[in-house]
Amino acid sequence: MTTTTPDRNRVQLPGISSRAYEHPADRSALVAMRSLSGFDSVLKRMSGLFSERRLRLMFLASSVRASETQFRSLYDMGRDSAYLLDLHRIPEVYVQQDPRPNAMAIGFDDPFIVINTGLLDLMDEEELRFVVGHETAHILSGHAVYGTMLAILTRLATRVAWIPLGYIGLRIIVTALEEWHRKAELSADRGGLLCGQDPEAAMRSLMKLAGGSRLHEMNIEAFLDQAREYDTAGDVRDGLLKVLNLLGSTHPFAVMRVAELDRWRRDGEYSAILQGDYPRREDDANAKVSEEVKAAARSYRESWAQSQDPFIGVLRDVAEGAVNAGERIFNRFARRDN
């Protein structure tokens, strides 16, 4: 299936690399993993290609596939998102009966998108366009492939929970992967905005995930105020509780997703991309692990510097040491790889 021109006048981004919109912490991890020869193949074998075929057959049998005659608007959104991000294949979109507002991208060689009916009932057309774009961005970044590692290790951690040292070691790895996954969600939010090209609709959709369908009772600016209050409120104890609240979570909280997306837009990267200033896919092979790790470290440092959270202030020196250690490790890896 080939891509066609979108039905509305949005800016296409020919040959765009996913590095254009990926959060630095997400991008550095992806560049590092892509640089490992055969890494994707190993993960695919571990997860089993048969399971992907089984899942596609399951959704084909138990849900509704969007097409020119079924859920036409979603079908058009999937086509448009693939066109705007210059994907070579248009991902299929399936609608499944589930009241929980959720969507996901599934698969390795031929990924597809699943939208719950709870999300269809919650979002208007432009908000849904952001959601479909979000999942399309996951596909372009290859998050489904690398996210498999998180799922495999999480299952493994539960199986070895009776071995104290083994469980602790795996739990540390899983916690780090969950942090990566949260940054991957921020990346996909940016990609969704590039597809919808409607910042207010993007932020509305995230706000609705927190507060439901009564949009007339909510306000984006007030919601952003909540994000600022969340960052500054309380003392060191509250900061620790924020960290504990994230354990086991693969998605950032809604107020932080809105705040991060708004900050990315205001920083000028969004408009620069629309004007054609972005890295191209053809240059992905030249991306250097060491440079991306340094970019991730800068991003964390800027985030810590901007944060008013007292707990972040206490841990800043410790975190700086961890980041510096990470840079040294990846620099050593990069030298060996070259």
Residues 130-157: tens digit of each pLDDT = 999 999 999 999 887 666 665 665 565 5
Instruction: Flag whether 329 is in a domain.
Output: no
Q: Is residue 127 domain-resident?
A: yes
Name every residue whose Cβ is closer than 8 Å to that of residue 241 and which is 6 or more positions away in sequence: 234
Note the pTM of the prediction, 2 decimals: 0.79
Provide the 3-class DSSP secondary structure of residue 113: strand
User: Quick one: which of 73, 76, 93, 92 has its CA closest to 84?
Assistant: 76
Residue 307 in domain: no
> In the structure encoding, which two tokens stand for residue 50, read together?
């048969």
Contact (CB, 8 A) for 279 and 327: no
Highest mean pLDDT among 40-44, 130-134, 141-145, 231-235: 130-134
178 domain residue, yes or no: yes
> pLDDT tens, 240-292?
777 777 777 778 899 999 999 999 999 999 999 999 999 999 988 887 766 65
Considering the domain boundaries, does residue 88 fall inside one? yes
Q: Is 135 considered catalytic here?
A: yes
| DSSP-based three-state secondary structure for 168 | helix
Q: Which of 22, 135, 178, 185 is catalytic?
A: 135
Give a yes or no: residue 301 inside a domain: no
Number of domains in the chain: 1
In a domain, 175, yes or no: yes
Residue 65 pairs in a beta bridge with: 94
- What six digits make up the tokens of 203? 């932020």
The whole domain housing 119 covers: 18-287
What is the 3 state secondary structure string of 256-320? Answer: HHHHHHHHHHHCCHHHHHHCCCCCEHHHHHHCCHHHHHHHHHHHHHHHHHHCCCHHHHHHHHHHH
Structural domain includes residue 337: no
pLDDT reading at 302 higher than 70: no
